[in-house]
């Protein structure tokens, strides 16, 4: 069946460095992807999205890359800050499936 998952459960990053969080998906029909950030005790917060007709999309300090050939999604955070410490989830959706399917999440810890 289809699944969305993240390659690494934890990531430790030095403050000021760039972070890269990876996500693999298996549903070739997936055409819409979202990255969420979840801080302790809060609901997931929308960060950035990308559709399958794009390879890259940039936001403020964040970039999402989509490689449809290998079904891989990544989130890059530039100049990581302590406030970036959180769990990051990727989610995918397809036109034939209503629900957003989530991966297990990657915990990012920023070292001062």
Partner 1 sequence: GAGVSQSPSNKVTEKGKDVELRCDPISGHTALYWYRQSLGQGLEFLIYFQGNSAPDKSGLPSDRFSAERTGGSVSTLTIQRTQQEDSAVYLCASSLNYNTEAFFGQGTRLTVV
Q: Which residues bind partner 1 (CB under 8 A)?
A: 31-32, 34, 36, 42-46, 49, 89, 91, 93-95, 97-105
Going by C-alpha positions, the residue among 16, 82, 77, 4 that lies closest to residue 47 is 77
Rounded Cα distance between 83 and 96, Å, is 36
Closer Cβ to partner 1, 25 or 89, answer by number? 89
Shortest Å distance, C-beta 17 to partner 1: 26
Shortest Å distance, C-beta 100 to partner 1: 6
Beta-strand relationship, 56-58 and 45-51: unpaired
């Amino acid at each position: 069946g289809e699944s969305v998952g993240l390659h690494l459960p934890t990531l430790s990053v030095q403050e000021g460095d760039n972070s890269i969080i990876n996500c693999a998906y298996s549903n070739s029909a997936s055409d819409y992807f979202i990255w969420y950030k979840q801080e302790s005790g809060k609901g997931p917060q929308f960060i950035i999205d990308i559709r399958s007709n794009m390879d890259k999309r940039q936001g403020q300090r964040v970039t999402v890359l989509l490689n449809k050939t290998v079904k891989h999604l990544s989130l890059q955070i530039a100049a990581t800050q302590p406030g970036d410490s959180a769990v990051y989830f990727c989610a995918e959706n397809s036109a034939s499936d209503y629900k957003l399917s989530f991966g297990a999440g990657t915990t990012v810890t920023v070292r001062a």
